[in-house]
Amino acid sequence: MAAVLKKRALAEYSQTQTIQEPVQKIPVKRLKLVKKSQPSPSGSTLALISCLEGCKTSNDALRTLLRISDNLELDSQDVPEILKRLSDHFKNEAESSVRVKILSLLCDIGQEPNADVVLIIDEIISLLKNDHSHKVIAQGMNTILKLGKLITDSATAVHQKLVEVAKTYLKDVSHAVKCKCLEIIGVHSPLCDSETKSILFLVSSYFNNEDARVRSQAFSTIITLHERGFKLNPDIYADVSESLKDDYEIVRSVVLKLIWLLGNTYPENEIFVPGSDHEIRLIDDAFGKICSGVTDLSMQVRTLSAKLLGSMTLVSPKFLNQTLDKKLMSNMRRKRTAHELAWENVTSGEWASGKKWADDAPREVLDADSINLMNSGACGAFVHGLEDEFLEVRSAAVESLCQLSLNNSYFSNLSLDFLVDMFNDEIEDVRLKAIDSLRLISAHIVLRDDQLETILGALEDFSQDVREGLHRMLAACRMSTTCGLKMCVEKLLDNLRKYPNDKRSTYRCLQQIGARHPELVLPLVPQFLNIHPFFDIPEPDVENPQYICILILILNAAKNLPTIIPLLEPHTVRHYQYLRDTMTSFVPVLSLSDIVISTVAEPMSVDSSLEFLNNVINNLDMTESTFRVHTSLLQTAKEHLNRLSRIDQAVAGTAQFTALFIGAQLIYSQIMEKGFWTNPRTLATQQAHNLKTSIQNLLEHCLKLQFFFVGLSPADKCAVKQFHLKALALNLVYIVKGSNSSALAPCHHFLTMVENMQNELSNCGLEPDNFTMAVFRELSMIEEPKPGAVSRILIPIISEGRIGKIPRPNVQINMSSAEILEPTGQTDTSLKFTAGLIMSVPFEAELRHLLDPSRVRIKIKYPDQKTQVILPRPAHMKPLDFDKKETEDSGYNIRLLTELLISHQVWSEACNIDINIALAIPEADIGRRKVMDSNQTLLDLCKPIKISVAPKPIKKNILS
């Protein structure tokens, strides 16, 4: 009976399976159908092209071609078949738009890596022979142009063939075909002396074509030929100049470029003035022609003309000076002989008073264009450009005026008044450009008092960028009189009272003014310091910003003029000592031998500092002692190097780098000496926590070595990364052996670092250290790099490894640093705002020697331990040194000026919040946390600033 029941149960179970089976197959079939509908990568394009044969209408064919271009995946063996089918469809297609799309698709196919470009070009040429559509021929020429650029220059025969094809289709009536053919001629004409004249003659014959687009392309082709090395004939200058009167701005723009090119290429060629036998230099005439473009009807042409003028530095001074005067100067006219004057009177054909022939004829009739050496439209070109209604023209005119002034001191003095007038422009960017231009030409000019008064009037500008630009400009310029200097200082002090945020910029400005004008500062010292010959004046407050400005001015002047020092009062000398300690960058070192004060120690020489550094490193490398002695030596060396970095700024970066490297070695040695890292599961809670903290500190030291220093040599970078690799190996072993978190991400990160390290060492030609060599060797033999297997390999390598050598001193190394200037954190009052709302706090900081400015973050830590991380806007990060070109090797010096938005709920009393600047290191987040949160790893660049904040509760309305 039991056997029967068992059989029945099995039968029922099997029946249920057969009943449910079709239901389960339905989604499987659908998935398979979806997979079949997706074309396989190989031959997918060929399959789509096969669908062209089944297309009944041109619209269907066009849609198919669009699908092909969107999903273009080629196999090298399918290319000939694809070309054949596309060519066949091209020959049988009646719609021109489809043929255009086929030619465009052939261009895309030709740009694939496996395509035969020459074969495709030949196929296109054969297809175009029997085609009469202008659109199709224009697209064919465009395809030939693009594909021809992929052929090497050595294939002269192919390029010559393309040029011949272009010459053939130049007879086409369509402007699009003509333009593409001219472009082909300009790009693909071979550099042969025998063909140069014929090609230039052919292209120049289209200068007077009836279509403006063809004329424009003909001039552009001439420019392209010149850029490729063709020697242009300067005789075409006359024909080119006539085209400046063209009705279309696209032609006039290209003609201006060609005139500029001819003028700079053949500056000393002599040409005849139209209507006379007088000759002038080609560069001078070209300069006059381009000046005429400043008064063109088109804004684009005026902007281009204003830009081109700045690069024409070979022009004669009389032509250059004429651009600043709207009236034609007398020396710009051709002097006529008495015979010519008499002949004009005889040929005038009019009677007047009888005393002289043609004495009442209009001046315009007598002074024809043939008399002027320079077109009257070119007179006052820069005046017109600076008064233009469009800011693009004014901005370009200011730039060109600055460029020309840099090479001509006389012209720079002439242009000074015009640049000063631009300080009152309505557009801020134009004002800033004028200010920077005046700063750049400051070496050639001396400011008069009237000019200085106009400049100082711009200090009332609301824009902080404009005010600081004026500070930089005043710091670079020279003043002519004592009255002007006094007026400048008084205006700066008044401006500082109105805008206290300009304090640092004003300090820097007065520092440079004092250093540049010591002889003008000397007679003003008693007046500035209120020194009375008979009475004692109350001692000023050394914390007063206005008084600090005066001291900075006088002390920097005393650096270059020691006769100022005896005029100083005793309290002024004490204030100098205070400012020298607190504001080292603004106050110089003065030799006050007659006054007993603690003098500032002279900086050490770079050679002695480097010798000390080398001795420290050599002694550590030679030492073979116990762990306790070696640790003591490392600690002592670290302290000495930190002290050296504070003493000698020349080697501060190297000393800080070496000290940080030694600190990382100390942490690593302590971890290895205790030996707990091999089996952290057996440790007590406190010991495990200490081990985890030590490993995190070690990784943080490695990140600082990698991201806090600029100017590292390839050997230094590899040494840091190899030490980082050792720390990552130690961290991986700890996670596998003593943590419950997943080790897949840290293991993958470690293996990626190993691969990158191997590539970098081979690229730099450097040998790896013993640890890295062992890791390379062992990992190359592992079959499946799982975390457990990798950690078992790493444990003996880490145990046997020794501490690597310390990198040699490198003077080019600098450490990233940050200094928060505002808020100062020294105020006794608390900032109050309504709880739940937002309060804005002005923030200013100077960051130096940054490796990557995009990593900068502002970190705000509230009393409840919540942290807010702010990403500064790029517009708020401006360079500190405007004239210095900064690179990644030298580091970026940046001024960060922004507003911090602070918000919190109600507190019972006022508390401090910490504001700090840090670098974001997203590379360090892999495997560092069990739960990845939004906060990145942040490394502090400076000590936090504390400000007191008191959120007030919301006041309820009385009526509520």
On the question of pLDDT at 349 being above 60, the answer is no
Count CB atoms within 10 A of the CB of residue 40. 10
What pLDDT digit, counting tens, does each position of 24-81 carry? Answer: 433 333 333 333 333 333 446 666 666 666 676 778 777 777 877 777 766 666 677 7
Instruction: State the amino acid at position 910 in one-letter form.
Output: A
Residue 130: pLDDT above 90?
no
Neighbour-count burial for 675-697, b at 16+ CB within 10 Å, e otherwise: ebbeebeebeeeebebbbebbeb
The pLDDT value given to residue 11:
46
Indicate if the pLDDT at residue 505 is higher than 60: yes
Q: Locate tokens 């540049």: which residue?
A: 516
For the chain, give the longest Cα–Cα distance: 156
State the residue for tokens 């009836």: 210
Residue 924 has pLDDT above 90, yes or no: no
Q: Tell me the C-alpha distance between 71 and 69, whole Å.
A: 6
- Does the pLDDT value for residue 195 go beyond 50? yes
* Burial class, 893, CB count within 10 angstroms (exposed 0-12 / middle 13-18 / buried 19+): middle
- Least Cα distance to 955 among 834, 785, 832 occurs for 834
Q: Dump pLDDT digits (tens) for 826-862.
A: 777 888 888 888 999 999 999 998 988 999 999 999 9
Helices (H), strands (E): how many in the chain? Answer: 38, 16
Give residue 367's pLDDT: 44
DSSP codes of every residue in 396-446: HHHHHHHHHHHT-HHHHHHHHHHHHHGGG-SSHHHHHHHHHHHHHTGGG-E
Return d(Cα 288, Cα 570) in angstroms, integer.
64
> pTM score, two decimals?
0.74
Residue 926, pLDDT > 60, answer no
Helix (H) or strand (E) holding 799: helix 787-800
pLDDT at position 262 = 92
User: Is the model's pLDDT at 21 over the cut of 90?
Assistant: no
- Higher model confidence: residue 342 or residue 775? 775
Confidence band of 524 (pLDDT split at 50, 70, 90): very high
For residues 477 and 412, is the Cβ–Cβ distance under 8 A? Answer: no
Share of the chain above pLDDT 70, in %: 81
What per-residue confidence (pLDDT) applies to 122? 86
The model's confidence at residue 156, banded by pLDDT at 50, 70 and 90, is confident
For the ranges 413-422, 529-538, 635-644, the maximum mean pLDDT occurs at 413-422
Q: Report d(CA 885, CA 866) in Å as an integer.
A: 39
498 or 670: which carries more pLDDT confidence?
A: 498
Instruction: Give the pLDDT confidence score for residue 511 in this predicted structure.
Output: 94
Is 351 a residue whose pLDDT tops 60? no
Q: Token pair for residue 276?
A: 């006379």
Q: What is the pLDDT of residues 258-298, one digit of tens each?
A: 999 999 998 888 887 776 667 888 898 899 899 989 988 99
CA angle 735, 739, 745 (to 5 degrees): 45
What confidence category does residue 869 fall into, taking pLDDT thresholds of 50, 70 and 90? very high
CA angle 540, 546, 552 (to 5 degrees): 90
| β-strands 478-479, 446-447 pairing | parallel
Q: Give the model's confidence band at 668: pLDDT under 50 very low, under 70 low, under 90 confident, else very high.
A: confident
Mean pLDDT, residues 719-738: 86
Here the tokens at position 338 are 């008495």
Give the model's confidence band at 602: pLDDT under 50 very low, under 70 low, under 90 confident, else very high. Answer: very low
* Per-residue confidence (pLDDT) for residue 326, from 0 to 100: 65
Q: What DSSP assignment string belongs to 510-534?
A: HHHHHHH-HHHHGGGHHHHHT--SS
Q: Highest mean pLDDT: which of 27-36, 114-123, 542-551, 758-767? A: 542-551
CA distance 302 to 295: 6
Residue range 292-320, pLDDT digits in tens: 899 889 999 999 999 999 999 888 888 88
- Please state which of the ranges 625-634, 674-683, 727-736, 943-952 shows the lowest mean pLDDT: 674-683
Distance of CA 229 to the CA centre of its chain: 31
Closest CA to 97 of 53, 143, 66: 66
Centroid of chain to Cα 888: 11
Rounded distance, CA 270 to CA 237, Å? 11
Q: What angle do CA 936, 941, 945 make, to 5 degrees?
A: 100
Q: Peptide bond preceding 785: is omega within 30 degrees of 0, i.e. cis?
A: no
